[in-house]
Structure 1
Amino acid sequence: MPLIAQLLSVILLTCLSVGARGEKLRIVTEPWAPYVYEQGGQNLGLDYETTAIVFKRLGIEVEWQFLPWKRCLSMLETGQADGALDIFHSAERDATLLYPSEPLSDVEFVMFYANDRPHPFTTLEQLKGLTIGTSPGYLYSPDFSRSQLFTREPAPTHEANFGKLVRGRIDLLITDRRVGQHLLDELNIRDLITENPTVISRQSQFLAVRRNAGMDLLVQRFGAELKRFKREPAYAELSARYGAAPVDSASLRDATVGGKTVEQQESSAQ
């Protein structure tokens, strides 16, 4: 088949998959400020606004749903959602999900502790006997998840985790650095909580879509337009508004605690 005919066929498949039947692309995500969140009935956040701009440029309408992350993963698995915003890349999910070559942002997972019960550390071995607040639907690295040195205790929301930390029900909690810093101000507890500087992991987060007809071209177009947008002053202004630094892929290969990683977005919903 001539190259032009092949391209036209792929474009047609893309249209059929996301628009020809009058359907919007269904994207799910968990509130994850300052990357994506709702405020006053408005969707906001660095990654949400970046994604919305890119989709608008591509002429693709999107239906957004903000849900707990376990529910997001369940909807992806059952086909109730076409894609997820701010998901980590995983080789295990390559069989079902497509990822653009360009990430939306990168995260650094750290731990926070209460000032009246300080637990500073540099290695996971120093957490022996402690209880660490985690988030349901998040799969952490094997050394963290399987360690018998400390206890992992999930909470339904990031806000609930910080509440448990303030009340002394957990000793530390793990979350992204900027998410944690945002919540310290949002919950007005900055004078009560300290961020431990040791980085547990660094990871890029993406928009990923299910492997359906034509989605491979959609992912290519999204990645190319995202990369183009990141070079524009508008993206620099957006990043500055949310206090974001440019994604540095090389930094994601730097050593972290024990050379291990913490992965946010790869747990099943069960």
Structure 2
Amino acid sequence: MRRLLLALCHCLAIAAASAQPPAPSVVHICDDGEEWPPFTYYRRVDGKPTTEITGYSVEVIGAILGKHGIPFTITLPPWKRCLASIEAGENYVMALSASKNPEREQRFLFSAPYYQTHYYVFYAKDRFPQGLKLDSQADLNQYRLGGIKGYAYSNLATVDKDRMVRAASYPELVKMMKAGRLDVFAEDYEVMAGLSSIGALDIIGDPSIGRAPLPGANANPFHMIFSRKNPSGEQLRQLVDQELEAMRRSGQLARLLAKYVKR
């Protein structure tokens, strides 16, 4: 009888344990290893990067997943590796910042846009002391235009992106321009200002680099992207879109953005 009671208690304990809801899976998130301040970057202490990843996008996804008790990790591998992992449905299920184009829409699921950037043209003042004469973004085709490997430049619709001189990082892009290997580059002003503000690369404060808004370029919307192959991808996209809309209506998105992007 005693053995029977012990066996019954054991079965009840197993049944009770199995009745508990399973712990939520950890959501593994990646973003650009080159950093994308003020949206995703390593926090600086005394000008040196720490291991803590912060920024507007980090706070937004933290608020969304935290509200639902969903644990998550964020790491910053090389951008191409991040995208490849999400597309394959492997370790990473989502990324925090991506612009949209038809090719990417076939590879990934997209959230609603939750911030936007604005293209500026940057150039070396010693080669263009009078500045650039641009009436439209198509005028960039007369210059050797630089860019970052793996970036879509979706809003540069009339630019021949196949002729872009691609660099591995922003510091390399600036070095190539100063060395005369390219003439100009068009990048998001908010990110260039973000790099300057955290002391990673002072493009905005560099007296040898000129800049001007790019004519004919609309604001560049950014989205979170999700895996089409990972079963969690679509569920996460729906959750994020639902919460982004709530944060937009309440003004929370605008308050967070104002914390990181100074106008």
The size of the alignment, in residue pairs, is 223
Which residue of structure 1 aligns with residue 222 of structure 2?
205
Q: How does 1:7-156 map to 2 (within 5 A)?
A: 20=22, 23-30=25-32, 31-39=35-43, 40-80=50-90, 81-100=92-111, 102-118=112-128, 119-120=131-132, 121-124=134-137, 126-127=139-140, 130-140=143-153, 141=156, 143-145=158-160, 151-156=163-168
CA-CA distance at 1:65 after TM superposition: 1.7
Which residue of structure 1 aligns with residue 190 of structure 2?
178
Q: Are the equivalent residues in 1 in contact too, given 2:141–2:159 (CA < 8 A)?
A: no
SS of 1:144's equivalent in the other structure is coil
Which residue of structure 2 aligns with residue 219 of structure 1?
237
Deviations 1:228-249 (A, max 9, x none): 223446544422221267xxxx
Q: Are the equivalent residues in 2 in contact too, given 1:159–1:183 (CA < 8 A)?
A: no
Q: Are the equivalent residues in 1 in contact too, given 2:39–2:56 (CA < 8 A)?
A: yes
Q: Does 1:159 align with 2:176?
A: no
Q: Distance in 2 between matches of 1:89 and 1:172?
A: 23
SS of 1:41's equivalent in the other structure is strand
Q: Distance in 1 between matches of 2:240 and 2:64?
A: 7
Q: Distance in 2 between matches of 1:154 and 1:22?
A: 41
Q: Distance in 1 between matches of 2:182 and 2:107?
A: 36
CA-CA distance at 1:46 after TM superposition: 1.3
- Alignment RMSD (CA, Å): 2.8
Deviations 1:60-109 (A, max 9, x none): 11121212221222112222221111112344444543223x32211222
Aligned-partner residue type, residue 216 of structure 1 = E
Over 3 Å counting, the alpha-carbon distance change for 1:182 and 1:146 in structure 2 is closer
Aligned-partner residue type, residue 223 of structure 1 = D
Q: Which stretch shifts more, 213-222 or 31-40?
A: 213-222
Over 3 Å counting, the alpha-carbon distance change for 1:166 and 1:157 in structure 2 is same
SS of 2:159's equivalent in the other structure is helix
Over 3 Å counting, the alpha-carbon distance change for 1:207 and 1:77 in structure 2 is same
Which residue of structure 2 aligns with residue 261 of structure 1?
none
TM-score by length of 2: 0.73
CA-CA distance at 1:214 after TM superposition: 5.1
Q: Which stretch shifts more, 66-75 or 122-131?
A: 122-131
CA-CA distance at 1:116 after TM superposition: 2.0
TM-score by length of 1: 0.71
